[in-house]
Amino acid sequence: MGALARAAIDPEYPVEIVTVISNRPNVEGLTLAREHGIDIRVVDHSTCDTREEHELALSQVLDEINVELICLAGYLRILTDTFINKWRGQIINIHPSLLPSFPGLDTHERALERGIRVHGCTVHFVNAELDGGPIIAQGVVPILPNDDAAALSARVLEMEHRIYPHALALIATRKVRWTGDHSVADMDVTVDDVVLIG
């Protein structure tokens, strides 16, 4: 969230971040949003009896602010199909692996266990399949001989901070768009636009 907020400070950046919404009242993202003068809302999931009740309250806030795109950043809850379908094509997420490899949790540990040579992160549209939506952009980092999960995680996080604002800008400038659950249409996008190599 901080990387997106910092990117949006630049008057040349094609995106305005209108609101930061959190499902928890005391998180670092809200402090960062305040520091950047961004409106904040808290839709506390612990005050709701069900996931559906929480997502309905969340959707009401999103409708109220007339949101165009939802960027998940540190939102560690799995969204229901109902919520995803309501906002179909308007939700993006960043995941700490080169999808479709290593969806879910513990991506860095699994990458090291498999002995692969590169790792990274993926920005993707959200659909009903966990970490399975159409890919917007990916950033690649090397896996070094002495890496442990913490060192690899730190390197991937640096790439996440670069690629998430980049992917959001691709959508805002209509270089990438949602076309359905299985494809993203790239319009005049070069490999340099889509892949960042650290």
Question: Which residues are designated catalytic?
Answer: 95
Other residues' Cβ atoms within 10 Å of the Cβ of residue 37: 8
* b/e map 159-175, b = 16+ CB within 10 Å: bbbbbbbbbbbbbeeeb
Q: Which helix (H) or strand (E) holds 165?
A: helix 149-172
d(CA 102, CA 100): 6
Pick the closest to residue 172 from 136, 135, 122, 126 (CA basis): 136
